């Protein structure tokens, strides 16, 4: 399984005045689930693109399993580290949902016989079976996002980076995406979630890396970092509901039962109202 090592990474866009990333260093071990948090323009997307070789460091290095990304093609890295753009519409071009999944598999040279089997499996895991023959552009926002993730998970990369998975999504769709991501984590794959949604991150990720103005201002266990009021404020974030709840009630391990918990709360709320 994949290991990512970032060392003193500086990155500047061509023509930009300043650095978008400054002196970023961290390691991500196999099977870790990491949230990358930070305010708008903090450099999260830029960092993600450096991790999968779309951007190469201006200074410093990013190494995938010990190999510098400068010496690897994007396709080579993508085979190991999947990247899901925040806008799924930037990737759809096929007429049918199934062909959208087929694209990556063909690019990576999977044999035709196995491709159909994989598509079938992926569609069912991601709850997209009924849309198999539909046009991707006609799906709802949440379905589009799931298809975008599915079309990348199809070739089973060892790590997955998802940019803003919950943007513009209703609660049910969010829970669907969350289920999908948690499943990937439970398979022992590494998941890196870029988000502003701390509640979402808190129920998926063990670890958080907090960026602010291109610098890492926090790296460690997500619950510890997000309990630090000063840090949370500096990164324009908010304490996740689940942590607040645990602090209030003195209970622990609530995120394991988040689904049950939220349905209980819902019931209580409805009882109170009636």
Ligand X SMILES: Nc1ncnc2c1ncn2[C@@H]1O[C@H](COP(=O)(O)OP(=O)(O)OP(=O)(O)O)[C@@H](O)[C@H]1O
Q: Which parts of this chain interact with other proteins (CB under 8 A)?
A: 49, 52, 54, 73-75, 78-79, 82-83, 85, 87, 89-93, 103-104, 107-108, 137, 151-152, 155
Nearest by Cα to 159 from 254, 223, 84: 84
Least Å distance, CB 46 to ligand X, is 3
- Contact with ligand X (CB under 6 A) among 9, 34, 43, 161: 43
B/e letters for 45-79, b = 16+ CB within 10 Å, e = fewer, are: bbbbbbbbbebbbeebbbbbeeeebeebeeeebbb
Neighbours of 33 (CB within 10 A): 23
Facing residues of 9 across strands?
24
Nearest approach, Cβ of residue 105 and ligand X (Å)? 29
Binding flag, residue 52, ligand X (CB under 6 A): no
Q: Looking at 116-212, which runs of residues are DSSP E strands? A: 159-163, 190-194, 207-212
Gyration radius of the chain over CA positions: 19
What are the residues facing 35 on neighbouring strands?
Answer: 193, 208
Could you tell me the smallest distance in angstroms from the CB atom of residue 231 to other proteins? 30
* Residues near Mg ion (CB under 5 A): 45
What 3-state DSSP class applies to 238? coil
- Token look-up 């630090």 returns 228
Q: Which of other proteins, ligand X, Mg ion, none lies near 93, with the C-beta cut-off 5 to 8 A by kind? A: other proteins
Does position 195 interact with ligand X (CB under 6 A)? The reply is no
Q: Which of 20, 177, 222, 225 binds ligand X (CB under 6 A)?
A: 20
The verdict on 272 binding ligand X (CB under 6 A) reads no
Nearer to ligand X, 38 or 165 (CB): 38
Does 46 interact with ligand X (rule: CB under 6 A)?
yes
Q: How far is the CB of 68 from ligand X (least distance, A)?
A: 21
CA distance 274 to 270: 6
In the bound state with ligand X, the residue whose beta carbon lies nearer, of 44 and 102, is 44
């Amino acid at each position: 399984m994949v290991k990512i090592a970032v060392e003193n990474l500086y990155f500047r866009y061509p023509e930009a005045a300043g650095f978008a990333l400054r002196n970023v260093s961290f390691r991500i071990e196999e099977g870790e689930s990491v949230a990358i948090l930070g305010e708008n323009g903090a450099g999260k997307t830029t960092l993600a693109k450096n991790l999968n070789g779309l951007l190469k460091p201006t200074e410093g290095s990013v190494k995938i399993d010990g190999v510098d990304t400068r010496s690897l093609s994007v396709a080579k890295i993508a085979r190991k580290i999947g990247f899901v753009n925040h806008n799924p519409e930037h990737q759809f071009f096929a007429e049918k949902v199934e062909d959208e999944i087929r694209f990556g598999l063909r690019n990576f040279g999977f044999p035709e016989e196995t491709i159909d089997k994989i598509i079938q499996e992926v569609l069912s895991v991601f709850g997209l079976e009924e849309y198999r023959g539909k046009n991707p552009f006609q799906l709802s926002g949440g379905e589009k996002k799931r298809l975008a993730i599915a079309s990348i998970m199809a070739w089973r990369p060892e790590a997955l980076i998802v940019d803003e998975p919950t943007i513009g999504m209703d609660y049910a769709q969010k829970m669907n995406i969350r289920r999908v991501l948690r499943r990937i984590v439970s398979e022992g794959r590494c998941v890196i979630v870029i988000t502003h949604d701390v509640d979402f991150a808190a129920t998926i990720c063990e670890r958080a890396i907090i960026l602010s103005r291109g610098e890492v201002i926090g790296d460690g266990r997500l619950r510890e970092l997000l309990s630090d009021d000063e840090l949370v404020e500096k990164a324009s974030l908010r304490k996740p509901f689940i942590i607040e709840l645990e602090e209030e009630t003195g209970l622990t391990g609530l995120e394991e039962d988040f689904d049950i918990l939220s349905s209980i709360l819902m019931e209580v709320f409805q009882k109170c109202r009636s």
